[in-house]
Structure 1
Amino acid sequence: MSYPTPWQGQGSQQPWQGHSGASMLAATADRERTVDVLRAGFAEGRLREDELEKRVARAYDARTVGELMLLVADLPQGPQAPAVLQGPQTGFRPVPPTFLPAPPPTNGKAVGALVCGLLTVFTAGLTGIPAVVLGHTARAEIRQTDEGGDGFALTGLVFGWLAITGWTLILLFAIVAAASST
């Protein structure tokens, strides 16, 4: 025997009645967040595929935030109640950081560029060229893949170019000094 669940729209009780935030009209971003939570629940094995499809369809048809909250109320990542519903009087808390989406991975070449760039201080600039090459390569990959680490790559580039410029000036002065002494 199966019992109807609140998200199926059956049953007479609406847990969000009386709360003004639940009757707030849902935005596209609210629907997308709900679908993301549903897909995460499916990926974790908490929902069957047919149940996922039904809930996703209902999410896109939902008019209010309350309807969306019902769709994810039995999943660990939901519901994320709006600020008007959060607080001790309503029993809702914000989604814990554990359940928020993970940040994008950091590009490995960007980390390499940062390390090589910082090592220019200790290697008298010898790691400047690898820092520049890795930095430019990493920034190109980051633009294509939406990975993190652009700041690392940029820092490696700055230190690398400073080292290359420093060595170029030293060599230029040495050549000028050698030419003027003859």
Structure 2
Amino acid sequence: MTAAPPETRGPGDPAAWEPIVGAIGPKVRDLRQQIGLSLQQLAQRSGVSAAAIHKVERSDMVPTITTLLKLAAALERPIGHFVEGVDTVPVAAHVPAGARPAVRSEAEGVELRGISGPPERFRAAGSVATIAAGAGGRPRPRPGEELLLVLEGALDVEVAGERYTLRDGDALHYPTDRPHSWSNSGADPSRAIWLSVPEA
């Protein structure tokens, strides 16, 4: 049996409401992160377990109307916010080459160009970094992870006393809650992709 074309699908056709159901979890997650709540904090506010909220946010579980009402109240949004306007925001964020934004760097000698979508929608943040010869940094430890891929040149990275020299094509994935630092000790600039994922 062939599926009904979109223009003939009625409210009883699952294809008509699947996008609405699929958008609930991401909307809950985005609102929680915008407000700055952890899963545990939202659980305390709403009376819904953190495990259940996590499943809802990942679209592993469809919330009951009672659960959705509790979450909507805790997030201070009408329930209609979660089941309307599905088509107004694309699922993915396209960042054209000419529109990649400059990102402020806390380290001198580093130029960053963003490759990630808007922070209010996504946890991960990525940049293409150009690191001048002699530049380096020692970021403050914070919960989360970073993934580093060197495209050109070399970078020296130290994580919790472990030392690595990354060259073209080398990657390093490390937790950012441990002491870490990086430097370009070469004579030429280095280029790398840096992806940062904060703790949920």
User: Could you say whether these structures have the same fold, taking a TM-score greater than 0.5 normalized by the shorter chain as the test?
Assistant: no
TM-score, normalising length from structure 1?
0.30
Give the structure with the larger strand fraction.
2
TM-score, normalising length from structure 2?
0.28
Give the structure with the larger helix fraction.
1
